[in-house]
A and B are shown apart, each in its own frame.
Chain A
Amino acid sequence: MKQQYDKHRYDVVVIGSGPAGMAAAVSAADSGVSVCLAEREERMGGILKQCIHDGFGLIRFKEKLTGPEYAWRYEQMVRKRDIDFMGLTFLTGIEKRENDFKIAFVNPERGVFEIEAGSLVMAMGCRERSGRQIFLHGERPAGIFTAGQAQDFINLKGFMPGRRCVILGSGDIGLIMSRRLTLEGAEVLGVYEIGSAPSGLTRNIVQCLEDYNIPLHLETTVTEVHGKERVEGVTVCRVDENKKPIMETALFLACDSLILSVGLIPENDILAPLDVDIDSVTKGPSVNQRQETSVPGMFSCGNALHVSDLVDYVSESGHVAGKMAAARVLKREADSGQMVIKKAGILQYAVPQNISFPVNGQVPVFFRPSEASDHAEFIFRQGERVIHKKKLSWLKPSEMHRLELDLSKVRQDGPAVTFELKPEAVNE
């Protein structure tokens, strides 16, 4: 790996060096093109640096690794290759030109500067929803954190965000932080979830809450935060079937911090001026099977594309995007056509959203159901012709699925292609 800061043009520029961006840079470099990996932080690794718990890499490395260990393995792959890493470098703007991109950055060494890129891979990850986005109003006392912020404070900086904590939302990061806070000596009063089912993985309910006797309160939310300078307590309230608080059930809990784990949103604001098609469900760009967005030459991967619960899938999508971004530069051949994939049944979303022709070979398809179902069948068809079917069990909106599909069976002149997820009644 070279540390070369004066180059002005690369075949492929990757934005963000989390697991998605590192994988993209590795695959692009392996295709023989020049690659630059730009990252706003000092070090590579993205969010994995603060995810010190284990459970990463079971698919990719067949081992149970912690986040930093997983990131380290990819960092070594990046360093072994001819990839220019630019740390402390923030992307501020993208201009699409006829055949390439002009990208604006700012960093301490070069100030504001521009780089040209043949193709671009967007791997900026996601950000957490904040209190304002879930309509938590009132005073702004210290002591309200997102779960990822609390994780950053404890695991990287060594600060405790609070001693008596209430967790709002049952996302995985909140569950993991409930355990982490308890191990570090804080008291976690409970996890409060407005929905009727937890949004995190069941295994995290077991190993992060049940193991430490932390109660999970479903259909309950925080309606008020008390305190002027510092959080002094919160009001929690049960909700009815329309998610409206039942005021008679209001209860005051004395605490010094409120930790929010209320969802993640792909980070794509920077794409707005380019009119990139965004999927209204995933909040990431709509892509074809090469993970190319509606702007030719711009690819997306990882949590910026859609929020994954497994880092292994994030890496896989990075490898696809990096390889395809390099292929775009090596062979600038326009696609011969595009088809939008229709969704049917209890399918919340599926990625890719489009098929570009010509197609060849197997591609991974990721999807989530819109509702829980014990058994369901995934059906891939063109018109009435079924191309592939697969039975699945124990589906939940909180758990993502991956299938490999052979898109080359799709005829370009044929009728619409549909992904259907059909719930099944099974008699046992």
Chain B
Amino acid sequence: MNKKMICIACPRGCAMTVNLEGDEPVIRGNQCSRGLDYARQEILQPLRMLTTTVKTTHPDYPRLPVRLSCDIPKDSLLECMRLINRVRVDHDCLPGDVLVSGVAGELVNLIATGDLSYDA
């Protein structure tokens, strides 16, 4: 059985085919090793990055952009959104700061991607 797949690791978007007949999947069409990693993971369990925003108490900047510290299973994205939507930030922060540790399972942290400063 041949499965067609578009690699989403970079903007090039290689069109790949994955043959699942043997013990190891045979992957074709990738132009770099990231394509192999992506295809192997996609067969096992598709993972995605989640980026969104959280509320702040800042008068001028009501939203702070955030991401997770690693990719999570695709089918848990909406559940994760529900957890993140409860977060509210009321302090200064810089890109890279951990806002909540263990936001979606123990190992996944919520990271600020923007800066917020309360002293004007």
CB distance from B30 to the nearest CB of A (A): 13
B115 pairs with A72, CB closer than 8 A: yes
Q: Residue of B at shortest CB range from A45?
A: B114
**Is the pair A68, B114 in contact by a Cβ cutoff of 8 Å?**
yes
Kindly identify, within residues 51 to 75 of chain B, every residue whose CB is under 8 Å from any CB belonging to chain A: 51-53, 55, 61-63, 65, 67, 74
Q: Which of B49, B62, B115 contacts A54 (CB 8 A)?
A: B49
Q: Are B63 and A157 in contact (CB under 8 A)?
A: yes
**Residues in B33-49 with C-beta less than 8 Å from chain A:** 48-49
Instruction: List residues of A whose CB falls within 8 A of some B CB.
Output: 49, 52-55, 58, 64, 66-69, 72, 154-158, 183-184, 201-203, 205-207, 211, 309-310, 394, 399
How far, in Å, is B60 (CB) from chain A's closest CB?
8
Chain B residue nearest to A202 (CB atoms) is B13
Q: Which of B4-12, B20-28, B102-110 sits within the interface?
A: B4-12
Given A53-B51, A58-B10: A394 and B15 within 8 A (CB)? yes
Are B62 and A211 in contact, CB atoms less than 8 angstroms apart? no
Contact of B48 among A64, A68, A157, A211 (CB under 8 A): A211
Given contacts A206-B6, A310-B11, contact A158 B63 (CB under 8 A): yes
| CB proximity of B98 to chain A, nearest CB, Å | 14
Residue B83 is within 8 A (CB to CB) of chain A in the complex: no
- CA of A184 to CA of B52 in the docked complex: distance in angstroms? 9
Interface size class of B (residues with CB under 8 A): 20 to 34
B positions within 8 Å CB-CB of A: 6-8, 10-11, 13, 15, 48-53, 55, 61-63, 65, 67, 74, 77-78, 81, 95-96, 113-115
From A54, A72, A183, A394, B95 is in contact (CB under 8 Å) with A72
Given contacts A72-B114, A72-B115, contact A203 B13 (CB under 8 A): yes
Q: How many angstroms between the C-alpha atoms of A183 and B50 in the bound complex?
A: 9
Query: Which 3 A-B pairs give the minimum distances between C-beta atoms?
Result: A202-B13, A52-B65, A203-B8
Contacts of B48 in A (CB 8 A): 207, 211
B63 CB contacts on chain A under 8 angstroms: 155-158
With A66-B113, A72-B95 already in contact, the answer to whether A52 and B6 are too (CB < 8 A) is: no
Q: What are 13 A-B interface contacts by the 8 Å CB criterion?
A: A52-B53, A54-B51, A54-B67, A58-B10, A66-B113, A156-B63, A184-B52, A202-B6, A203-B7, A203-B13, A206-B8, A309-B11, A394-B15
Give the residues in chain B near A53, CB-CB below 8 Å: 51
Which B-chain residue is minimally distant from A156 (CB atoms)? B63
Among A64, A155, A183, A309, point to the contact of B65 (Cβ < 8 A).
A155
A156 contact set on B, CB distance < 8 A:
61, 63
B73 CB to nearest A CB, Å: 12
Q: B8 contacts A207, CB within 8 Å?
A: yes
Query: Roughly how many angstroms separate A58 CA and B10 CA in the complex, as a whole number?
Result: 8
Please name 9 further chain A to chain B contacts, defined as beta carbons within 8 Å, in addition to the given A68-B114, A72-B114, A203-B7, sorted by A numbering: A49-B114, A52-B113, A53-B51, A68-B113, A69-B96, A72-B95, A158-B62, A203-B11, A309-B11
State which of A64, A66, A184, A201 has its C-beta within 8 Å of the C-beta of B13.
A201
Q: Residues of B contacting A201 with CB < 8 Å?
A: 11, 13
Residues of A within 8 A of B13 (CB): 201-203, 206
Residues of A close to B65: CB separation below 8 A: 52, 66-68, 155
Would A69 and B95 count as touching, CB distance under 8 A? yes
